[in-house]
Chain A
Amino acid sequence: MSILVQTDACVGAGQCALVAPDVFDQDDNGIVLLLEPDPEGADLAAATRAVRLCPARAIALSTA
């Protein structure tokens, strides 16, 4: 599983960095930064939750 982020869709809501702080951060404009593109275990579960919560649908999980 790897994480894909689409920064032009990100609205800086910060849900991702809040629920999965080891996987996501935000830059100074609030735009998502991917810290860990291939999370495992608890981080993967948290990242999955972030994917669902992101109000801009700017993050996705890829099985590729």
Chain B
Amino acid sequence: MSGPARVVIVGASIGGLTVAESLRDEGFEGEITLLGDEPHLPYTRPPLSKQILAGEWRPEQAAIRTAAELDELGIRVRTSRRATGLDVEARTLHTADGPISFDELVIATGTQPRPHPVLAEASTLRTMDDALRLRERMDAARRVAVIGSGILGSEIASAARKRDAEVLLVGRSGALGFGGVGTLLSEDLVRLHEAHGVELALRAELVAAQSAGAADAPDATALEFADGTTRTVDLVVTMIGGTPRTDWLASSTLELADGVVCDRLGVAAPGISAVGDVAAWHDPITGRHRRVEHQSNAIEQAIAVAGRLAHGGEGAPPVPLFWSEIHGARIHAYGWFDPERSLAELPTAAESAGIVYGSHDADGELRGIVGWNAPPREFRTARAAVVTTARPLIHHS
């Protein structure tokens, strides 16, 4: 058969693994090497801030594949291996254990948490090891401050409340964000947190933090805000966003902006593709290169790239699909959201406490939906009505 003989994938998580599995789905018979710097076989991250942090799951429950299954698929996995450089012309990957040559390379190295300027050493959450450490610290903490107004900040605040801690959720901006939906759901999220006993401090800029250990609270930290108020807590978790892990590509000839710049099919350079959180694909809907940090995006990009590598051809570009669970509320978002246009509640047929919100463009077309504890059939019906063709969402004047 035609096509590459040797595919090397950097980043052994959902994006990288799905490329490998999908290559086999497509009948690819060449060599596949999946290289990752974590000591674990691939696992899913979404449960880290939910079931793992809340103590409801054992770490094994987040694992995706056993070593035996990977072996059977002919996917060679190398854990605890870090890629250190890339020679695009020579099609050679450099690693801590020497060079590896490839016909096709897929970059799936994700992101890492951005350190907080005032609290660079504070706990944060990206990996299984982070989650287990944080869970232990939460056990010992009565007062928890979560810094970050995004979705992961909300999820960690929710997990800490489940463990009965007093929780302060701090955001620099005046609103709470929800991934691609932006701040359009902020009022609902604020109400949800308040109903579950989370104290909110929005428009609050943290300017200093000092250790304030006392006999009964050795790990206490005193936080100081720009308006002069202070607060002492036992544990601080910072969640102020991620930066793409492109450090190892800095000396390569790849174009890096916020992530690895790719065309609308995920090609970064001849023989080199990128998928998942690290990849800034050209998005025909917004007309820009942008990264999407959702599990489904990593999966759909991975399936599309594997199909292209195995057979050539083009898959459909992914439509953003995101979910979260905060204080038991199930929230799903599908499609695109214009931050300037507020959401409208869509009529639902069923008698239900759930809501489906719609986001319409200037022409009145439905472009995105949010389900808030929505009945699944209603959500699927609304989803089918979302216009996903490649027409711009925002009209540039």
**B-contacting residues of A (Cβ < 8 Å)?**
8-9, 11-15, 17-18, 26-30, 48, 52-53, 55-57
Rounded to whole Å, the gap between the CB of B305 and the closest CB of chain A is 13
Is B323 a contact partner of A12 (Cβ separation < 8 A)? yes
**A-contacting residues of B (Cβ < 8 Å)?**
18, 21-22, 25, 44, 46-47, 61, 64, 294-296, 299-300, 303, 321, 323, 325, 330, 332, 375-377, 379-380, 383
Q: Which of A17, A30, A48, A55 contacts B321 (CB 8 A)?
A: A55
Rounded to whole Å, the gap between the CB of B311 and the closest CB of chain A is 16
Q: Which of B299, B321, B377 contacts A52 (CB 8 A)?
A: B299
Given contacts A11-B325, A13-B296, 6 further A-B contacts (CB under 8 A): A9-B47, A12-B330, A13-B323, A14-B332, A29-B376, A30-B376
Rounded to whole Å, the gap between the CB of A11 and the closest CB of chain B is 5
Cα distance, A61 to B237, chains bound together (Å): 38
Among B64, B330, B375, B376, chain A packs the most CB atoms within 10 A around the CB of B376
| Given known A-B contacts A11-B46, A14-B380, A55 and B323 have beta carbons under 8 A apart | yes
Total number of residue pairs linking A and B with CB closer than 8 Å: 59
Cα distance, A2 to B158, chains bound together (Å): 37
Is A52 a contact partner of B303 (Cβ separation < 8 A)? yes
Is A57 a contact partner of B64 (Cβ separation < 8 A)? yes
Cα distance, A57 to B332, chains bound together (Å): 17
Q: Which residues of B contact A12 (CB under 8 A)?
A: 323, 330, 332, 376
22 contacts between A and B (CB under 8 A): A8-B61, A11-B325, A12-B323, A12-B330, A13-B296, A13-B332, A14-B376, A15-B296, A17-B376, A26-B377, A28-B376, A29-B376, A30-B330, A30-B376, A30-B379, A52-B21, A52-B22, A52-B25, A55-B294, A55-B295, A56-B46, A56-B295
Q: Which residues of A contact B380 (CB under 8 A)?
A: 14, 17-18
Cα distance, A17 to B18, chains bound together (Å): 20
Cα distance, A10 to B37, chains bound together (Å): 28
The residue in chain A whose Cβ has the minimal distance to the Cβ of B17 is A57
Q: Which residues of A contact B296 (CB under 8 A)?
A: 13, 15, 53, 55
Tell me if B's interface is mostly helix, strand, loop or mixed.
helix
Is B376 a contact partner of A57 (Cβ separation < 8 A)? no
Cα distance, A55 to B323, chains bound together (Å): 9
Is B383 a contact partner of A18 (Cβ separation < 8 A)? yes
Is B61 a contact partner of A14 (Cβ separation < 8 A)? no
Cα distance, A15 to B325, chains bound together (Å): 17
The residue in chain B whose Cβ has the minimal distance to the Cβ of A33 is B376
The residue in chain A whose Cβ has the minimal distance to the Cβ of B57 is A8
Cα distance, A55 to B383, chains bound together (Å): 17
Q: Which residues of B contact A8 (CB under 8 A)?
A: 61
The residue in chain A whose Cβ has the minimal distance to the Cβ of B44 is A57
Rounded to whole Å, the gap between the CB of B353 and the closest CB of chain A is 11
Cα distance, A44 to B376, chains bound together (Å): 23
Is B299 a contact partner of A53 (Cβ separation < 8 A)? yes
Cα distance, A9 to B323, chains bound together (Å): 13
Q: Which residues of A contact B18 (CB under 8 A)?
A: 52
Is B376 a contact partner of A55 (Cβ separation < 8 A)? no
Q: Which residues of A contact B323 (CB under 8 A)?
A: 11-13, 55
Rounded to whole Å, the gap between the CB of A47 and the closest CB of chain B is 12
Q: Which residues of A contact B303 (CB under 8 A)?
A: 52-53
Q: Which residues of A contact B376 (CB under 8 A)?
A: 12, 14, 17, 26-30
Q: Which residues of A contact B25 (CB under 8 A)?
A: 48, 52
Cα distance, A3 to B162, chains bound together (Å): 33
Q: Which residues of B contact A48 (CB under 8 A)?
A: 25
Rounded to whole Å, the gap between the CB of B377 and the closest CB of chain A is 8
Cα distance, A28 to B64, chains bound together (Å): 26
Cα distance, A28 to B378, chains bound together (Å): 10
Cα distance, A17 to B379, chains bound together (Å): 12
Rounded to whole Å, the gap between the CB of B360 and the closest CB of chain A is 22
Rounded to whole Å, the gap between the CB of A41 and the closest CB of chain B is 17
Q: Which residues of B contact A53 (CB under 8 A)?
A: 296, 299-300, 303
